[in-house]
């Protein structure tokens, strides 16, 4: 078992290797090499990726039924099955030689089988120039697709096998195959996808290019680590759709299992940061899947700022610690010029509401109070109860309507006297309703 102090596990020699003949069912000698050919052929025994089966066996996994899954361990069989899924497909061992190579390879094989080995080897030499006719360069694979490059590699390896069968050492063809692969890999590796990176690692191991194999496995490990960290961050235990939530849990656990197979640090078991974070996130999500809403899913908040009545700015915020249909507490602030009076002022109020379980909307009163600054040292204290209408319009949106009840009162307070004024009306004529986005999370105990 891996120790907690390990930071990076060697890229090629990891605790356990997969040695299952079924892992590479499609990888065998290139088709152009006849059964009678003998000699070096990396595709006949392509190495399998060295992966940490023991570490992955203890990775978190879903067990029990589909309806009520629980967390357990992946187990040896699960780790082995996942490892088989990671076996690269589409390597040069799965490629056919270029069409231009085929007749020459077939004729050379035929000559060698008939005993004209010198003729076979002489014929094969013409293949060495086919990939280098542009500017005398071997094969600029950066200007070619990787499938073309792999086709040439397959052709060179097929020629090497026939050349060795005909009494040569096949070295020129092996060198061409290695040089073509090296140029392809060096051009692709820095930006290769996870699948392509594993493919390059596998091919490099087969050709004995350990430096590229090491770099490719290190990149694969980095990609797996980034994928796991993103899956931990992205898992939302508050998703309302059960299937979406189940899919996100599965995605997270697969990312962890893959990372564990590749020896990503901090996946070694309880007490390791990535292991603990994965277990915690998956556990919360599974509880939510079973109907137990996590505390973090109960806190919501919203805020807004609107210009109303032409020159009054209305800002507000509210939060709930009991879910969208739980009790909400909020504040409202007004500032600007009241057009009814032509003077500046400010006001504020506090409000609360709870959307009923059997309805998507509710109404409440926001008692506001403030003052308008009048001329000659006078002020106009006032109260203005506002009517608040709240309606759920989506999983993460509320529609608000705030309008005066036309029941406000005011007085004129001057240095020498105080006068009562008729009822005032705050007119909200511009867009009386608007939608606010709900933010998950609030300052809840």
Q: What is the DSSP letter of 47?
A: P
Kindly state whether residue 314 falls inside one of the protein's structural domains: yes
Residue 39: per-residue pLDDT:
57
Residue 398: per-residue pLDDT:
96
Residue ending a domain, among 155, 187, 222, is 222
| Residue in this structure with the two tokens 């739980």, named with its chain if needed | 326
Q: What's the rounded Cα separation, in Å, for the pair 254 and 79?
A: 11
Residue 12: per-residue pLDDT:
27
Kindly state whether residue 382 falls inside one of the protein's structural domains: yes
Residue 310: per-residue pLDDT:
66
Burial zone of 226 (CB within 10 Å; 0-12 exposed, 13-18 middle, 19+ buried) = middle
Answer positive or negative: Cα dihedral of 60, 61, 64, 65.
Answer: positive
Residue 366: per-residue pLDDT:
95
Residues 316 and 436 in one domain: yes
| Short-list 317, 258, 306, CA closest to 428 | 306
Residue 293: per-residue pLDDT:
81
Kindly state whether residue 396 falls inside one of the protein's structural domains: yes
| Residue in this structure with the two tokens 């005909």, named with its chain if needed | 166
Ramachandran class of 18: left when φ > 0, alpha when ψ lies in -120 to 50, beta otherwise: beta
- Tokens at residue 312, please? 């009054």
Residue ending a domain, among 201, 222, 243, is 222
Residue ending a domain, among 222, 255, 288, is 222
CA distances from 144 to 61, 88, 147, 159, 296 (A): 42, 21, 8, 21, 52
Burial zone of 136 (CB within 10 Å; 0-12 exposed, 13-18 middle, 19+ buried) = exposed
Domain that holds residue 122: 21-51+86-222
What b/e sequence results for 336-358 when a residue is b if at least 16 CB atoms lie within 10 Å of its CB, and e otherwise? bbbeebebebebebebebebeee
| Short-list 101, 103, 87, CA closest to 180 | 101
- Tokens at residue 87, please? 């076996």
Q: What's the rounded Cα separation, in Å, for the pair 280 and 273?
A: 11
- The pLDDT averaged over each successive group of 10 residues in the chain (445 residues) is 34 30 35 44 79 94 81 95 93 94 96 96 89 46 74 94 94 94 94 96 94 96 98 91 93 97 95 96 93 85 85 92 92 86 88 94 95 87 91 91 84 84 57 85 73
Kindly state whether residue 159 falls inside one of the protein's structural domains: yes
DSSP strand pairing (327-338 vs 397-404): unpaired
Kindly state whether residue 369 falls inside one of the protein's structural domains: yes
> What digits encode the pLDDT tens for the residues 316-343?
999 999 889 989 999 999 999 876 667 8
Kindly state whether residue 66 falls inside one of the protein's structural domains: no
Residues 107 and 210 in one domain: yes
Residues 46 and 175 in one domain: yes
| Residue in this structure with the two tokens 């390059």, named with its chain if needed | 200
Q: Please calculate the CA angle 237-242-244 and round it to the nearest 5 degrees.
A: 75
Residues 428 and 306 in one domain: yes
Q: What's the rounded Cα separation, in Å, for the pair 119 and 61?
A: 60
Domain count, the chain: 2
| Residue in this structure with the two tokens 């759920």, named with its chain if needed | 392
411 φ/ψ angles, rounded to the nearest 5 degrees: -140, 160
Residues 196 and 320 in one domain: no
Kindly state whether residue 261 falls inside one of the protein's structural domains: no
Ramachandran class of 167: left when φ > 0, alpha when ψ lies in -120 to 50, beta otherwise: left
Count the alpha carbons within 13 Å of 300 in the hemisphere toward its beta carbon: 20
Polymer length in residues for the chain: 445
CB atoms within 10 A of CB 289: 19
CB atoms within 10 A of CB 274: 20
Kindly state whether residue 376 falls inside one of the protein's structural domains: yes
Residue 52: per-residue pLDDT:
93
Residue 138: per-residue pLDDT:
44
């Amino acid at each position: 078992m891996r120790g907690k102090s390990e930071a990076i596990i060697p890229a090629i020699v990891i605790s356990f290797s997969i040695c299952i003949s079924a892992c590479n069912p499609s990888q065998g000698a290139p088709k152009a090499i006849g059964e009678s050919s003998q000699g070096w052929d990396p595709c006949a025994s392509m190495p399998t990726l060295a992966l940490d089966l023991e570490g992955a066996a203890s990775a978190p996994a879903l067990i029990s039924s589909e309806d009520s899954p629980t967390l357990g361990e992946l187990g040896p069989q699960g780790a082995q099955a996942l490892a088989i899924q990671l076996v690269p497909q589409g390597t040069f061992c799965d490629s056919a030689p270029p069409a231009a190579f085929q007749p020459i390879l077939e004729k050379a094989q035929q000559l060698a089988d008939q005993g004209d080995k010198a003729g076979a080897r002489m014929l094969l030499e013409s293949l060495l120039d086919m990939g280098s006719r542009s500017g005398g360069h071997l094969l600029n694979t950066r200007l070619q697709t990787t499938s073309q490059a792999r086709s040439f590699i397959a052709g060179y390896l097929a020629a090497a096998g026939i050349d060795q069968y005909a009494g040569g050492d096949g070295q020129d063809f092996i060198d061409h195959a290695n040089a073509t692969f090296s140029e392809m890999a060096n051009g692709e590796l820095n930006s290769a996808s996870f699948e392509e990176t594993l493919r390059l690692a596998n091919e490099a191991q087969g050709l004995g290019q350990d430096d590229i194999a090491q770099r490719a496995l290190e990149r694969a490990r980095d990609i797996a680590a980034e994928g796991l960290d993103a899956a931990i961050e992205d898992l939302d235990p508050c998703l309302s759709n059960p299937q979406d939530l189940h899919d996100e849990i599965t995605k997270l656990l697969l990312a962890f299992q893959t990372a564990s197979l590749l020896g990503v640090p901090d996946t070694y078991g309880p007490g390791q940061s990535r292991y603990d974070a994965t277990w915690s996130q998956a556990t919360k999500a599974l509880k939510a899947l079973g109907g137990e809403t996590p505390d973090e899913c109960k806190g919501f908040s919203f805020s807004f700022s609107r210009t109303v009545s032409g020159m009054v700015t209305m800002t507000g915020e509210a939060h709930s610690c009991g879910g969208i249909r739980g009790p909400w507490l909020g504040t409202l602030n007004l500032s600007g010029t009241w057009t009814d009076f032509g003077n500046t002022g400010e006001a504020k109020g506090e409000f609360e509401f709870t959307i009923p379980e059997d309805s998507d909307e509710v109404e409440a009163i926001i008692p506001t109070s403030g003052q308008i600054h009048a001329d000659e040292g006078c002020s106009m204290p006032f109260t203005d109860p506002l009517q608040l209408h709240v309606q759920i319009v989506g999983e993460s949106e509320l529609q608000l309507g705030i309008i005066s009840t036309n029941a406000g009162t005011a007085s004129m307070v001057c240095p020498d006297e105080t006068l009562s004024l008729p009822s005032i009306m705050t007119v909200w004529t511009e867009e009386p309703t608007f939608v606010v986005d709900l933010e998950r999370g609030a300052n809840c105990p």
